[in-house]
Amino acid sequence: MLYYLFKYLEELGGPALFNFLSFRALAAMILSLLISVIIGEKIIGKLQKHQVGETIRDLDLAGQMAKKGTPTMGGIIIIMAILVPCILFAKIANIYIILMIVATVWMGLIGFLDDYIKVFKKNKEGLKGKFKVIGQVVLGLLVGIVMFFHEDVVVRMEPAEAALYGYDVVETVEAPDRFNPGKTKQWVYVKSTLTNVPFLKDNELDYAKFLPFLGDNAKKMAWIVFIPLVILIVTAVSNAANLTDGLDGLATGVSAIIGATLGLFAYLSGNAIFADYLNIMYLPHTGELLIFTACFLGACIGFLWYNAYPAQVFMGDTGSLTLGGIIAVLAVILRKELLIPVLCGIFVVENLSVMIQVGYFKYSRKKYGEGRRVFLMSPLHHHYQKKNIPEPKIVARFWIVGILLAALAVITLKIR
């Protein structure tokens, strides 16, 4: 909202600071950090007053007993620290910002309901799994529909390329030609079914190619492939983030690393000059997501003030489901959904460790008459706890791996 106020003041001769994306992003991050740290302390006090404590089920693990009763539902702090600065500093009429706000609120409500049932209804299982999945599917469906059908969700192409592939042109624009200084070049904004694929030469994949039997209608019907994939991504990543939230600062730190990387992608993909230089898709209007990712990063870092070992508050499902949902939707918007196995490698491995553990336990019980385990305990971070590795060391090592994966994700822009 401040963006529109200062835009009006600029027309009256006021400062033009709010025209600069970098200024708004840094201001939003600072405000997000302040909200997390200052208001976060008051929220933790309220949670303690109302005895909103965590019930730890893995009391056989070293150090877990001490965590029993620690306030949970701290994800409220993260959500506030994201939404307030975003609404103030971003162009809230931007379709991508609207989509991210909806995703944050929606996943936050699902997580809050889950935590509420656990804490106040004394039901350790929380919200039934099928209702969680329904909520995730609804969000994935909404995101898929908006991304595929909304007129503002476009990709910039050369007119000849758009005509060759038969994409519908939404708008024709003129932009400076970086190869011919002082001259302009014609571009078109098109409704495209393209996405980014890491390590391939052209770095692009058209979902319509999965429907060759539809002929000329393949591009119009590509939603048959795209929307189910988006639903799968939103469900998988939000659940994986939830599984990763088992040690003090683990999910928060990993999410901050992923969020910072997606913020870089948003800036590069939303900037015509950098997109041309890196030879990647220019996605009009996505640059504004730098503001949202700045809020996301500030919220995560600010929450670590209280969530780092030993944690004064846990995010609960209110936070973990929200973080996972945000990351999934951001990746889809930026057309980096196929990069998730690399960028979100920690989440993927944590999720796989549970699947492997459960799957092998059931298989061995059927074949050998007794359940056997691959890991000492799952998710994977508990396996290392069982090996008596100190919790802060496990978290720090996971962060380091997360940074390495983020670096690998970034260099995929040029490794093809």
Output the DSSP codes for 252-274.
HHHHHHHHHHHHHHHHHHT-HHH
User: What is the model's pLDDT at position 56?
Assistant: 55
pLDDT of amino acid 10: 60
Whole-Å CA distances, 132 to 12, 112, 138, 321, 357: 49, 11, 10, 10, 22
CA 45 – CA 199 distance, rounded (Å): 48
**What is the pLDDT, as a whole number, of residue 12?**
60
Q: What is the pLDDT of residue 249?
A: 94
Note the pLDDT of residue 368: 86
Give the pLDDT confidence score for residue 59 in this predicted structure. Answer: 47
Provide the β-strand partners of residue 144.
none
Q: What's residue 6's pLDDT?
A: 58
Residue pair 321/238 in contact (Cβ under 8 Å)? The answer is yes
Indicate the pTM of the whole model: 0.92
H-only helix segments in 150-176: 159-165
Contact 316, 126 (CB under 8 A): no
Could you report the average pLDDT of every consecutive run of 10 residues in the chain (416 residues)? 62 65 92 94 85 56 63 93 95 95 97 91 83 96 95 90 83 77 84 85 82 85 94 96 93 96 95 85 93 97 94 93 97 94 95 94 89 92 94 96 96 79
Which ranges of 248-344 does DSSP label H, i.e. alpha helix? 250-269, 272-278, 289-307, 316-333, 340-343
What is the spatial distance between Cα 70 and Cα 286, in angstroms, rounded to a whole number? 39
Per-residue confidence (pLDDT) for residue 62, from 0 to 100: 54
Ramachandran bin of 335, using left for φ above 0, alpha for ψ from -120 to 50, beta for the remaining angles: left
Q: Which DSSP category does 154 fall into?
A: -
CA 118, CA 296: separation in Å to the nearest integer?
Answer: 26
- How far apart (Å, rounded) are the C-alpha atoms in residues 42 and 124? 26
Distance separating alpha carbons of residues 108 and 172, to the nearest angstrom: 39
